Amino acid sequence: MNILAGIGRSFLGILSLIGRITIFASLAISHLVRPPFYPREFLVQLGYIGFLSLPVVGLTALFTGGALALQIYSGGARFNAETVVPSIVAIGIVRELGPVLGGLMVAGRVAASIAAEIGTMKVTEQIDALTTLSTHPMKYLTVPRVLAATLSMPVLVAIGDIIGIMGGYLVGVTRLDFNAAAYMTNTLDFLEVSDVISGLAKAAVFGFIVATMGCYHGMNSGRGAQGVGRATTSAVVSASILILASNYILTEVFFSA
Amino acid sequence: MIEMTDVHKAFGSKQVLRGVNLTVQSGESMVIIGGSGTGKSITIKCILGLVHPDSGQILLDGKNVEDEERDAFLAKFGMLFQGGALFDSLSVWQNVAFRLLRGSLKRPKDEAREIAIEKLRRVGLTPEVADQFPAELSGGMQKRVGLARAIAADPEVIFFDEPTTGLDPIMAGVINDLIREIVVEMGATAITITHDMTSVRAIADKVAMLHGGKIRWMGPVAELDGCSDPYVDQFIHGKAEGPIAAVR
């Protein structure tokens, strides 16, 4: 009976957490369209989340594109299909690997940082101070971060896609003896607008998830250094899991027909 | 005037406030004393609406604080937090002028900066401090900046949460004097939470002792030393023996 009770408690705990996160995300969305707005905070976050994540996303895309080209070439050689390298690299990067790996890297960098910053603000009473200064913490802290992440992730992933395809191109041309012009032609011929749009839509969702998880766990951080540490870990873990789960759902929505 | 009537608050199974009744007249400096964990901070947070009481009523000038429009309501208050609670990412003047840079009290940036520098001067800090960041300041300077922020918008009511904790005796004396001067000068109502009996004597018009989630004793500061209540006597003289358990 104790085991069953334990399983029940865990299950209820998970349901309760999902409910709390859903309410938090709904509140964040509702505050997005209600004044006051804090454009300066938004621009600061746009720079931090968007611009400063570019090296991480770019390097991830570059090496992933290169490795993907090698993998597809060696796998395709088993049934004489080496020529599909450019198109598979492009589709793989744009549809899946660009948004998912970009999302996971940004989750590691941004969700952790947001949770640590807001968690520290909470334990040092800065969140209470904001409230006493007539400033809603959700509007001042959460909305600029969520909006900045949701808008900047598609741009980051678009740049990452180009860099990833370039990674595949460099490996294809220098290591696998592809003709440079033919590689580019194959890439562009097989890539469709819907591939790009689906990837960017995923990126926007992942950006929303990353910032929302960072803010939620920061705002609900426990006391002291340990509490902030746990909030940081929870933010990264939950953002990563939600990115992978929502990626599957979005892929079903976009491509299952 | 602030009136708390039969205010209760529990966190889970832990009952923190068990019927607090407290009246603070306008322009009066009330100091709440009591052991750690007796609910002093929660009392202040209930008045500010940071924590919602389970039952009871809190009135500000006869109006229920729960019914007030939040922005206008909070504009009447200033608060000095125990650790300062300064925003790390903002410079000192931006911290002080925080309320003047946004919301209903928004002023032009230059004017807000001027007011911030004036408030910094009022708490004994030079204009050079204005462009520094909180992390560059000592604990005493951070407290002064927090005090400047609390008074920046000339509030009607100011809360001081452990204003001298962590400061050396001289700096604690400076902060106590500043609080007293500012409260008298502004004619503001002040509620201070402290364990520091020197602060109590320097700041208070009236003293209330919170124990067991209720106001145990309340009276003018002049009557504090002659108080016959054994709880008050033990607390103000720091005796290990008495009705208040040393281990809580």
- Output the DSSP codes for chain A: -HHHHHHHHHHHHHHHHHHHHHHHHHHHHHHHTSS---HHHHHHHIIIIIGGGHHHHHHHHHHHHHHHHHHHHHHHGGGT-GGGHHHHHHHIIIIIIHHHHHHHHHIIIIIHHHHHHHHHHHHTTHHHHHHHTT--HIIIIIHHHHHHHHHHHHHHHHHHHHHHHHHHHHHHHHTS---HHHHHHHHHHH--HHHHHHHHHHHHHHHHHHHHHHHHHHHT--SHHHHHHHHHHHHHHHHHHHHHHHHHHHHHHHH--
Contact B85 A126 (CB under 8 A): yes
A236 in the same domain as A116: yes
Each residue's pLDDT tens digit, A138-161 = 999 999 999 999 999 999 999 999
Q: Do A193 and A67 sit in the same domain of this protein? A: yes
Cis peptide before A36 (omega within 30 of 0): yes
pLDDT digits (tens, 9 = 90+) for A22-44: 999 999 999 998 888 999 999 99
Residues of B in contact with A126 (CB under 8 A): 85-88
Which residue in B68, B51, B50 sits closest to B59, CA to CA? Answer: B68
Instruction: Name the residue ranges covered by the structural domains of chain B.
Output: 1-76+193-243
Are the beta carbons of B91 and B133 closer than 8 angstroms? yes
* The CATH number of the domain covering residues in B1-76+193-243: 3.40.50.300
Identity of the residue in B45, B87, B99 whose CB atom sits nearest the CB atom of A126: B87
Question: Percent of chain A beyond pLDDT 70?
Answer: 99
Give the residue numbers spanning the domain of A17.
1-31
Each residue of B95-132: pLDDT tens digit?
Answer: 999 999 988 888 999 999 999 999 999 888 999 999 99
Minimum Cα–Cα distance from B155: chain A residue? A133
Using the Cβ of A138 and the Cβ atoms of chain B, whether some distance falls under 8 Å is answered with no
In a shared domain, residues A80 and A24: no
Number of residue pairs across A and B with CB atoms under 8 Å?
48
Chain B residues with CB under 8 Å of A132 CB are 48, 50, 74, 77-79
Cβ B74–A131 below 8 Å, yes or no?
Answer: yes
pLDDT at A17: 92
User: Which of B11, B42, B50, B76 would you mutate first to test chain A, the one with the most A CBs within 10 A?
Assistant: B50
Chain A residue numbers with beta carbons less than 8 Å from the beta carbon of B52 are none
> Is pLDDT above 80 for A257?
no
The token pair at B32 is 């709440």
Q: What is the pLDDT of residue B171?
A: 83
Q: What is the pLDDT of residues A173-220, one digit of tens each?
A: 999 999 999 999 999 998 999 999 999 999 999 999 999 999 999 999
Same domain, A231 and A170: yes
The pLDDT of residue A229 is above 70: yes
Contact list in A for residue B104 (CB cut-off 8 A) is 134
A206/B contact by beta carbon, under 8 A:
no
Q: Chain B closest CA to A133's CA: distance in Å?
A: 6
Is residue A21 domain-shared with residue A47, that is, in the same domain? no
Do A23 and A134 fall within a single domain?
no
Q: Average of pLDDT values for B205-216?
A: 93
Q: Do A131 and B48 touch (CB under 8 A)?
A: yes
**Average pLDDT over all residues of chain A:** 94
Measured between beta carbons, the chain B residues lying within 8 angstroms of A123 are none
How many angstroms separate the Cα of B93 from the Cα of each of B127, B132, B155?
A: 9, 8, 18
pLDDT tens-digit map of A166-178: 999 999 999 999 9
Q: Report how many domains make up chain A.
A: 2
Same domain? A26 vs A98? no
Write the burial class of residue A84 (CB in 10 Å: 0-12 exposed, 13-18 middle, 19+ buried). Answer: middle
Q: In the 8-state DSSP scheme, what is residue A52?
A: G
Residues A158, A85 within the same domain? yes
Q: Are residues A221 and A98 in the same domain?
A: yes
Nearest to A128 among B70, B85, B105 (CB): B85
Are residues A160 and A192 both part of a single domain?
Answer: yes
Assembly ipTM: 0.86
Residue of B nearest to A44 (CA): B89
Same domain? For A79 and A135 the reply is yes
pLDDT band at B86 (very low <50, low <70, confident <90, very high): very high
Lowest mean pLDDT among A105-109, A121-125, B184-188: B184-188
Q: In this model, does residue B72 exceed pLDDT 90?
A: no
